[in-house]
Amino acid sequence: MQLSDHITHITGGGSDGWDTFYRARRMIADGIAVTELNIGEHDIRTHPDILNAMHKAALAGHTGYAAVPGTDALRDAIATRIATRTGVPTTAANILVTPGGQAGLFAAHHATCNPGDTALFIDPYYVTYPGTIRSVGAVPKPIITSPDTGFQPTLDALQRAASGARSLLVNSPNNPTGAVYSGQTMQAIATTCRDHDLWLISDEVYDTQVWEGDHISPRALPDMADRTLVVGSMSKSHAMTGSRVGWICAPEPVIAHLTDLATHTTYGVAGYIQDAAQFALGQGTSVEEQVAAPFCRRRALSMDLLAGQNIVKAVPSQGAMYLMLDIRATGMSGEGFANALLDATHIAVMPGESFGQAAAGHIRIAMTIDDDRYIAALGQVLDFAASCINQ
Ligand code: PLP
């Protein structure tokens, strides 16, 4: 029996550089102590107060079917957060609650792209992007960026790629590079969308993790609110990765159609999870700052350590929980380096190649273990790089 093209073509085939990740996981299963600097997951868990709110909501009976587009109270809380952060008038009618940002990325592409349409995304990219685009039958087309521009897309590259495309997916603060797009980059993105009549899908799941400069939501730029779908999530901002709660913010008619899609797919998000998310948003920005603080601190510690050597170069990053390191001076590929590092030191990092061709010759370090272990591990990575040169 033949399965559908939709399901069999989601991945592009090949390992996409994930061999190292699975090898590290096998080593752990075999009892080897591997230091994992490869996962975008906090080293803290969801705050007990948020869990209490979840528990209370469940005991109070919010365990039946919840409103498909999201509870009014949570949609209001998300709309208020967005309006406060961006200045763009936003109401509950602009919000669909989704089971995490990933479901939002899928739904946003489903809403904007027909089968066969070209959907643009920026390379390096979060690993699910091409597969998400393929899973709605659209054709992923990367726009390659360069370490020389801090992995920010240029107006020229955007304009060259845009002709005939249907949508553009951007992500700032960026996974894997840590780039926070400048005002100039966001203007170039908005200009390109207007010139080529593109839908813009803006993945802002790291909007609370900005260490330098400001997070700009492109929905706030002139004439962009009507063509922009913002994807947000509680995963990174509130350490709620496992709760699967996020949102799409979009024009009202788009949300109405997305609600139809949700009715026929997820049928909404568990009510007690939504109540916990509403409680968490109600705690204000101090909770978000607390969750983000360790990454800001570890980034500063990393810069101090990196300044003491001149083999590995840090790609200047302004946000998110990752460090992108240029290891080309060792003469190795990102994949070769990550594999050799895993064998020699039992430290697991992600090869840049897993995030697209623009990140070849780089590795991505997730700053997601406690400070002391993190600094010791980064020191070992740098020593290993030096040993590769001295061989
Ligand atoms: N977008 C980016 C850039 C991510 O890094 C992630 C997760 O790591 C997601 C979206 C999906 O997050 P979630 O589905 O947990 O909200």
How far, in Å, is the centroid of ligand 1 from the Cα of 176?
A: 11
- Closest atom of ligand 1 to CA, residue 171: 3
Give the pLDDT confidence score for residue 230 in this predicted structure.
Answer: 98
CA of 237 to the centre of ligand 1 (A): 11
Q: Confirm if 234 and 243 have CB atoms less than 8 A apart.
A: yes
- Spatial separation of the C-alpha atoms in residues 142 and 144, rounded to whole Å: 6
Instruction: Give the distance (Å) from ligand 1 centre to CA of residue 128.
Output: 9
| Rounded distance from Cα 61 to ligand 1 centre (Å) | 30
Cα of 9 vs centre of ligand 1, distance in Å, is 21
Section 120-135 average pLDDT:
95
Residue-wise pLDDT tens digits, 263-310: 999 999 999 999 999 999 999 999 999 999 999 999 999 999 999 999
Residue of 105, 172, 177, 236 to test ligand 1 pocket, by largest number of atoms within 8 Å of CB:
236
Centre of ligand 1 to C-alpha 389, Å, is 36
User: Which of 78, 121, 123, 126 gets mutated to test ligand 1 (max ligand atoms within 8 A of its CB)?
Assistant: 126
Report pLDDT digits (tens) over 166-205: 999 999 999 999 999 999 999 999 999 999 999 999 999 9
Q: Which residues line ligand 1 (CB under 6 A)?
A: 40, 100-102, 126, 171, 175, 203, 205, 233, 235, 241, 246
Global pTM exceeds 0.75: yes
pLDDT value, residue 323: 95
Q: Is the pLDDT of residue 340 over 70?
A: yes
Instruction: CATH number for 48-283: choose from 3.40.50.1000, 3.40.50.2000, 2.30.40.10, 3.40.640.10.
Output: 3.40.640.10
> Which atom from ligand 1 is nearest to the alpha carbon of 40?
8
pLDDT of the residue at 13:
62
Percent of the chain with pLDDT over 90: 91
* pLDDT tens per residue, range 3-50: 998 888 888 765 566 788 889 999 999 999 999 999 889 999 999 999
Q: What atom of ligand 1 comes closest to residue 234's alpha carbon?
A: 16
Q: Confirm if 215 and 166 have CB atoms less than 8 A apart.
A: no
User: Closest residue (by CA) to atom 8 of ligand 1?
Assistant: 40
Rounded distance, CA 78 to CA 104, Å? Answer: 14
Asked whether the predicted pLDDT for residue 347 surpasses 90, the reply is: yes
Predicted pLDDT of residue 16 = 60
Structure-token pair, residue 218: 């492109």
**Ligand 1 geometric centre to CA of 78 (Å):** 17
- State the distance from the centre of ligand 1 to the C-alpha of 199, rounded, in angstroms: 20
pLDDT at 241: 97
Q: What residue ranges do the domains of the chain occupy?
A: 5-45+286-390, 48-283
Contact (CB, 8 A) for 176 and 145 = no
The sign one gets for the Cα dihedral 373, 242, 232, 276 is negative
In this predicted model, what pLDDT tens digit does every residue of 205-236 receive, in sequence order?
999 999 999 999 999 999 999 999 999 999 99
Average pLDDT over residues 84-113: 98
Which residue among 174, 235, 324 has the greatest number of ligand 1 atoms within 8 angstroms of its CB, and so is best to mutate?
Answer: 235
Centroid of ligand 1 to alpha carbon of 101 (angstroms): 6
What separation in Å is there between the alpha carbon of 246 and the centre of ligand 1? Answer: 10
Q: What is the pLDDT of residue 21?
A: 86
Q: How far is it, in rounded angstroms, from Cα 137 to Cα 146? A: 28
What's the pLDDT at 5? 84
pLDDT (tens digit per residue) in 233-269: 999 999 999 999 999 999 999 999 999 999 999 999 9
Q: Which of 63, 91, 40, 66 lies closest to 355 in space, CA to CA?
A: 40
- Which of the listed CATH numbers 2.60.120.10, 3.10.129.10, 3.40.50.2000, 3.90.1150.10 matches domain 5-45+286-390? 3.90.1150.10
Residue among 39, 98, 171, 175 whose CB has most ligand 1 atoms within 8 A, to mutate: 175
Atom of ligand 1 nearest to the CA of 175: 3
CA dihedral of 151, 152, 157, 162, whole degrees rounded to 10: 120
SS (H, E, C) the chain: CCCCHHHHCCCCCCCCCCHHHHHHHHHHHCCCCCEECCCCCCCCCCCHHHHHHHHHHHHCCCCCCCCCCCCHHHHHHHHHHHHHHHCCCCCHHHEEEECCHHHHHHHHHHHHCCCCCEEEEEECCCCCHHHHHHHCCCEEEEEECCHHHCCCCCHHHHHHHHCCCCEEEEECCCCCCCCCCCHHHHHHHHHHHHHCCCEEEEECCCCCCECCCCCCCHHHCCCCHHHEEEEEECCCCCCCHHHCCEEEECCHHHHHHHHHHHHCCCCCCCHHHHHHHHHHHHCCHHHHHHHHHHHHHHHHHHHHHHHCCCCCEECCCCECCEEEEECHHHCCCHHHHHHHHHHHHCEECEEHHHHCHHHCCEEEEECCCCHHHHHHHHHHHHHHHHHHHHC
